[in-house]
Amino acid sequence: MSYEKVSQAKKIIIGTKQAVKAIQTNKVSEVVIAEDADRRVVNKVLQLAEEQQIPISKVDSMKKLGKACGIEVGASAVAIIN
Protein backbone atom coordinates (compact mmCIF):
# COMPACT_ATOMS: atom_id res chain seq x y z
CA MET A 1 0.00 0.00 0.00
CA SER A 2 1.03 3.63 -0.39
CA TYR A 3 1.88 4.09 3.30
CA GLU A 4 4.84 1.77 2.83
CA LYS A 5 5.82 3.58 -0.36
CA VAL A 6 5.91 6.87 1.55
CA SER A 7 7.84 5.50 4.53
CA GLN A 8 10.41 3.81 2.25
CA ALA A 9 10.88 6.75 -0.14
CA LYS A 10 14.31 8.37 0.04
CA LYS A 11 12.94 11.91 -0.28
CA ILE A 12 9.41 13.18 0.31
CA ILE A 13 7.76 16.56 0.54
CA ILE A 14 4.97 16.85 3.09
CA GLY A 15 2.06 19.26 2.73
CA THR A 16 -0.01 20.67 -0.08
CA LYS A 17 1.82 23.98 -0.59
CA GLN A 18 5.23 22.33 -0.75
CA ALA A 19 3.87 19.55 -2.99
CA VAL A 20 2.51 22.16 -5.43
CA LYS A 21 5.93 23.86 -5.58
CA ALA A 22 7.66 20.52 -6.16
CA ILE A 23 5.22 19.57 -8.94
CA GLN A 24 5.82 22.92 -10.64
CA THR A 25 9.57 22.25 -10.67
CA ASN A 26 9.09 18.77 -12.22
CA LYS A 27 10.71 16.90 -9.33
CA VAL A 28 7.80 14.65 -8.35
CA SER A 29 7.46 11.01 -9.35
CA GLU A 30 4.22 10.33 -7.45
CA VAL A 31 1.67 12.13 -5.27
CA VAL A 32 -0.12 10.55 -2.29
CA ILE A 33 -3.39 12.14 -1.14
CA ALA A 34 -5.37 11.34 2.01
CA GLU A 35 -9.05 10.60 1.28
CA ASP A 36 -10.19 12.30 4.48
CA ALA A 37 -8.42 15.57 3.61
CA ASP A 38 -10.54 18.62 2.77
CA ARG A 39 -11.12 18.70 -1.01
CA ARG A 40 -10.43 22.43 -1.19
CA VAL A 41 -7.02 21.84 0.37
CA VAL A 42 -5.86 19.11 -2.03
CA ASN A 43 -7.57 20.27 -5.24
CA LYS A 44 -4.57 22.27 -6.50
CA VAL A 45 -2.23 19.31 -5.96
CA LEU A 46 -4.62 16.93 -7.75
CA GLN A 47 -5.13 19.35 -10.63
CA LEU A 48 -1.40 19.93 -11.20
CA ALA A 49 -0.57 16.23 -10.87
CA GLU A 50 -3.21 15.34 -13.47
CA GLU A 51 -1.99 18.07 -15.85
CA GLN A 52 1.58 16.78 -15.63
CA GLN A 53 0.48 13.12 -15.71
CA ILE A 54 2.01 12.34 -12.33
CA PRO A 55 0.60 9.15 -10.76
CA ILE A 56 -1.78 9.83 -7.85
CA SER A 57 -2.23 7.33 -5.03
CA LYS A 58 -4.95 7.70 -2.43
CA VAL A 59 -4.83 6.55 1.17
CA ASP A 60 -7.68 6.57 3.66
CA SER A 61 -6.22 8.54 6.59
CA MET A 62 -4.35 11.82 7.05
CA LYS A 63 -3.19 10.63 10.47
CA LYS A 64 -1.69 7.39 9.09
CA LEU A 65 -0.10 9.29 6.20
CA GLY A 66 1.52 11.69 8.65
CA LYS A 67 2.78 8.76 10.70
CA ALA A 68 4.25 7.16 7.55
CA CYS A 69 6.09 10.46 6.97
CA GLY A 70 7.46 10.36 10.49
CA ILE A 71 5.50 13.34 11.82
CA GLU A 72 3.09 13.56 14.74
CA VAL A 73 0.29 15.35 12.85
CA GLY A 74 -1.81 14.38 9.85
CA ALA A 75 -0.67 14.99 6.29
CA SER A 76 -3.16 15.71 3.51
CA ALA A 77 -0.68 15.42 0.64
CA VAL A 78 2.80 13.98 0.16
CA ALA A 79 4.96 14.27 -2.93
CA ILE A 80 7.53 11.52 -3.58
CA ILE A 81 10.62 12.99 -5.21
CA ASN A 82 12.49 11.16 -7.97
Per residue in 1-20, pLDDT tens?
589 999 999 999 999 999 99
Tally of structural domains, the chain: 1
Q: According to the model, what pLDDT value does residue 82 have? A: 84
User: Bridge-partner residues for 77, per DSSP?
Assistant: 33
Q: Which domain holds residue 20?
A: 2-81
Average pLDDT over every residue of 30-40: 96
The model's pTM is 0.93
Burial of 28 (0-12, 13-18, 19+ CB in 10 A): buried
Among 59, 82, 61, residue whose Cα is nearest residue 73: 61
CATH code where residue 26 lies: 3.30.1330.30
- Angle 67-56-2 (CA atoms, 0-180°, nearest 5)? 35
Per-residue model confidence (pLDDT) at position 70: 95
